[in-house]
Amino acid sequence: MRHVDRVEIQPPAPTNGVPRSVWMRTTRRLSRWHRPYTAALLFLDFAAAALASWTAVSGFPQATAGFGTHADRDSAWFNVVAYVLLPLGWLILLWGNGAYDRRYLGLGTDEFKRVVRASVAVAATVSFIAFATKTDLSRLSVGFALIGALVYILVARYLARQVLHLIRRRAGQAGHRMVLVGTLPETLEVYTAVTRNPAAGLVPVAISLTEGFAAARGIETPVPVYAGRDVLAVVREVGADTIAVCGSASAEPGELRRLAWQLEGTGVDLVVAPQLTDIAGPRVHIRPIEGLPLLHVEEPTLSGVAWLVKNLMDRVVAAVGLIVLLPLFALIAIAIKISDPGPAFFRQPRVGYGGRTFRVWKFRTMYTDAEERLATLQDQNESDGLLFKIREDPRVFPFGRILRASSLDELPQLINVLRGEMSLVGPRPLPADDGDFLGDVRRRLLVRPGITGLWQVSGRSDLSWDEAVRLDLYYVDNWSLAYDLSILWRTIGVVVARKGAY
C-alpha cells in the first residue's frame, strides 16, 4: 500500500481539438496483446472449419453422397472448396460479425454469441450459393460440415481463452495497464471491481485525482496516486495504455471530449466507468437527444416468456436429475448412516421467493447434536453476515467434509427445485431464524433462491457478506437465460476446484 504525501500541480498539456485522419495515423495502439491473440484465433478458426469439412467427408462418407461421385470428391476443385474457400468464408463472416473485435475477446459471452451469429450467416450464404448455381448438395453433408465447424470453433476459442486467462493470472501479461481518473473514492471503487477477476486483464497502475487533493493526503492506496498532473504525462510515466474515467469525472462538461481529443494518435485507449457500476450492459441503452447521449436504464426482467422458460427448465432438469442421480443418492445415504447414525437428510427453514419460508433439502454433513453445539462456537464464526461459517467446523464428520468439498450435499435441493421453492440458479437461500431482512437484502426475495448462483462461482464462503449481497443483487437486477447458462457452466469449474467450499 502507498500513502498520498505530495500534491504536485501542473497545467494540462494544450490541445487544439482538431481530429487526426485515421488514414494518416501512424501511431499504433499501445496495447498489443490482441494482435497475436487474433492471429492465433484466425489460424484456429480456419483449421476448425477445414477439420469440419474433413470430418464430414472422411468420417461420414454416407453423408457426402450428394457431392457427387467418389472421383468428384477427390478432385482438386472439391478440395479447394471444402478445405480453402469454405474456411475462408467462415473467417470473413466471423470478422464481419465482430468475432475478432478486441472488445469481446477474452471475457464474457459476446464472443461466442457472435460466432453463433456468424454460423447462421455461413449457413444462409451456402444455401443461397447452392440455390443460385443449382448445385446438388446433400443437406446432411452440409449440416455435418457447418455444425461441426461451429462446434470446433467454439471449443478452440474456449481453449484459447483459457490459455489467455492462465497467462494473465500467472504472468500478469496480455492485459491493459490502466490509469484511473476521478476522485479517490470513485477510483478505488473501480479498482476493486476491475481487479476482482485477474482473468479480465485489467491492471490499474496509477490513480490520477481530479479533486480532493488535500483530503487524499496520508490515505493508503494500492497504486501510486498523482494529483493535479496532466493525465497523458502520468500515462507516459507509468507505461499505461488505457485511461479509465471514473464516476463523476465523466460528467464534467466538455472535459471527456477534450480528453478524447488529446488521446488521438497517442495509441492510448479511453474507457468510461460510469456510476451505474451494478447495471449490466443489456439493460443500458444510449438514446441521443439533440446531440446529448442519454443512458436509458431498462427495468429488470422478472416476468414474461424468458422467466417462464427458466421455470420450465428448472422443473425438467430437476426431474431428470433426480431420476438419474437416484443410485448416487442411495450410496451417499448409506455412507452417511455408517459415518454417524441418524437421518441421511437435513432440512432447515430458509426464506425464499416473496419472503415465504420453506425447508431446504441437503445431505446431512454434521453430527446429530450439531444444533446443540452451535452456541459454544458462536465466537469462532468466520462469516461477517447472516450465515455461520467455520473452515474447520468440529461438528462436521469426516465424510461430511467430503460432501461439502465436492458440493454433493447440495444435490437434494433438486427436490426443492421440482417443487418450485428454488431454482437451479439464483441467490443463496438465507436462514429463516434471523428475523426480517432489511434494506437492500430484501430485494433478493424477488426471485427464487438457487442451488448455485453468482456468489458461488465468485468465491462462495471466501466472500464477505457485503460482497455476497452485492453479487446476489446484481444477479436479481441483470438476470437472463444466457446469464443462467453461463453461471451453470462456471459452476462446474468451481466445484471441480473446490473453491470456497467448507
Range with the lowest mean pLDDT among 74-78, 197-201, 410-414? 74-78
Asked, for residue 22, whether it belongs to a domain, the answer is no
* CA distances, 188 to each of 285, 431, 450 (Å): 26, 33, 31
Range with the lowest mean pLDDT among 13-27, 35-49, 84-98, 279-293? 13-27
Tell me what pLDDT residue 101 has. Answer: 87
Q: How confident is the model at residue 283 (pLDDT cuts 50, 70, 90)?
A: low
Amino acid at 280: A
Asked, for residue 485, whether it belongs to a domain, the answer is yes
Q: Which three cell numbers stand for residue 323?
A: 431420476
Tell me what pLDDT residue 397 has. Answer: 86
3-class secondary structure for 431-442? EHHHCCCCHHHH
Rounded CA-CA distance 81/50 in Å is 10
Tell me what pLDDT residue 8 has. Answer: 43
Instruction: Tell me: do 261 and 322 sit in the same domain.
Output: no
Instruction: Tell me: do 320 and 441 sit in the same domain.
Output: yes
Q: Is the pLDDT of residue 19 over 60?
A: no
Range with the lowest mean pLDDT among 71-80, 216-225, 244-253, 355-364? 71-80
pLDDT digits (tens, 9 = 90+) for 55-68: 887 765 544 444 44
Tell me what pLDDT residue 281 has. Answer: 58
327 CB-near residues (< 8 Å, 6+ apart): none
Rounded CA-CA distance 56/150 in Å is 13
Question: Taken in order 89, 92, 98, 101, is the CA torsion positive or negative?
Answer: positive
Question: Taken in order 223, 226, 230, 234, is the CA torsion positive or negative?
Answer: negative
Rounded CA-CA distance 216/8 in Å is 13
Tell me what pLDDT residue 380 has. Answer: 63
Instruction: Tell me: do 138 and 200 sit in the same domain.
Output: no
Tell me what pLDDT residue 471 has. Answer: 83
pLDDT digits (tens, 9 = 90+) for 430-481: 777 655 555 677 788 888 999 988 888 876 666 777 777 888 888 888 888 8
Amino acid at 241: D
The sheet carrying 430-431 orders its strands as 357-363, 345-351, 430-431
Asked, for residue 424, whether it belongs to a domain, the answer is yes
Instruction: Tell me: do 473 and 385 sit in the same domain.
Output: yes
Asked, for residue 315, whether it belongs to a domain, the answer is yes
Instruction: Tell me: do 198 and 215 sit in the same domain.
Output: yes
Q: Residue 248's CB: how many other CB atoms inside 10 A?
A: 14
Instruction: Tell me: do 465 and 493 sit in the same domain.
Output: yes
DSSP character at residue 223? S
134 CB-near residues (< 8 Å, 6+ apart): none
Rounded CA-CA distance 91/84 in Å is 11
Q: Is the pLDDT of residue 383 over 80?
A: no
Please give the distance of CA 365 from its chain centroid, rounded to a whole number: 31
Asked, for residue 468, whether it belongs to a domain, the answer is yes
Tell me what pLDDT residue 433 has. Answer: 63
* Domain end among 170, 205, 236: 170
Instruction: Tell me: do 166 and 185 sit in the same domain.
Output: no
Report, as an integer, the average pLDDT of 109-130. 89
Report, as an integer, the average pLDDT of 402-411. 86
Instruction: Tell me: do 149 and 185 sit in the same domain.
Output: no
Instruction: Tell me: do 165 and 185 sit in the same domain.
Output: no
Collapsed DSSP state (helix, strand, coil) of residue 118: helix
| Cell 490520477 found at | 208
| Residue scoring higher pLDDT (438 or 166) | 166
* DSSP codes joined into one string, 308-333: HHHHHHHHHHHHHHHHHTHHHHHHHH
pLDDT digits (tens, 9 = 90+) for 65-82: 444 444 455 567 778 888
Instruction: Tell me: do 65 and 139 sit in the same domain.
Output: yes
Amino acid at 192: T
Contact 91/183 with Cβ under 8 angstroms?
Answer: no
Q: Phi-psi category of 106—alpha, beta or left, where left has phi over 0 and alpha has psi -120 to 50?
A: left
* Domain end among 136, 170, 204: 170
Alpha helices in 375-451 (DSSP H): 398-406, 413-418
CATH number of the CATH domain containing 188: 3.40.50.720
- Number of domains observed in the structure of the chain: 3
Instruction: Tell me the average pLDDT of the chain.
Output: 79
Q: Is the pLDDT of residue 183 over 80?
A: yes
Collapsed DSSP state (helix, strand, coil) of residue 93: helix
**What is the DSSP pairing of strand 269-273 with strand 202-209?**
unpaired
301 CB-near residues (< 8 Å, 6+ apart): 307, 479, 480
Asked, for residue 100, whether it belongs to a domain, the answer is yes
Q: Is the pLDDT of residue 116 over 70?
A: yes
Contact 363/344 with Cβ under 8 angstroms?
Answer: yes
> Which structural domain range is residue 108 located in?
34-170
Instruction: Tell me: do 78 and 124 sit in the same domain.
Output: yes
Q: Residue 50's CB: how many other CB atoms inside 10 A?
A: 19
Instruction: Tell me: do 355 and 427 sit in the same domain.
Output: yes
Q: Is the pLDDT of residue 15 over 60?
A: no
Rounded CA-CA distance 240/237 in Å is 8
> Rounded to 5 degrees, what are φ and ψ at 323?
-70, -45
Q: Is the pLDDT of residue 230 over 90?
A: no
* CA distances, 32 to each of 35, 102, 322 (Å): 6, 10, 49
Angle ∠(4,9,31) on CA atoms, nearest 5: 75
Q: Is the pLDDT of residue 242 over 60?
A: yes
Asked, for residue 23, whether it belongs to a domain, the answer is no
**pTM of the predicted model as reported, rounded to 2 decimal places:** 0.69
Rounded CA-CA distance 394/383 in Å is 16
Give percent of the chain above pLDDT 70.
75
Rounded CA-CA distance 54/375 in Å is 66
Q: How confident is the model at residue 6 (pLDDT cuts 50, 70, 90)?
A: very low
35 CB-near residues (< 8 Å, 6+ apart): none
pLDDT digits (tens, 9 = 90+) for 202-218: 889 999 888 767 666 76
Tell me what pLDDT residue 25 has. Answer: 46
Q: Which residues are 366's β-sheet partners?
A: 396
Range with the lowest mean pLDDT among 4-13, 68-77, 219-228, 277-286? 4-13
Asked, for residue 204, whether it belongs to a domain, the answer is yes
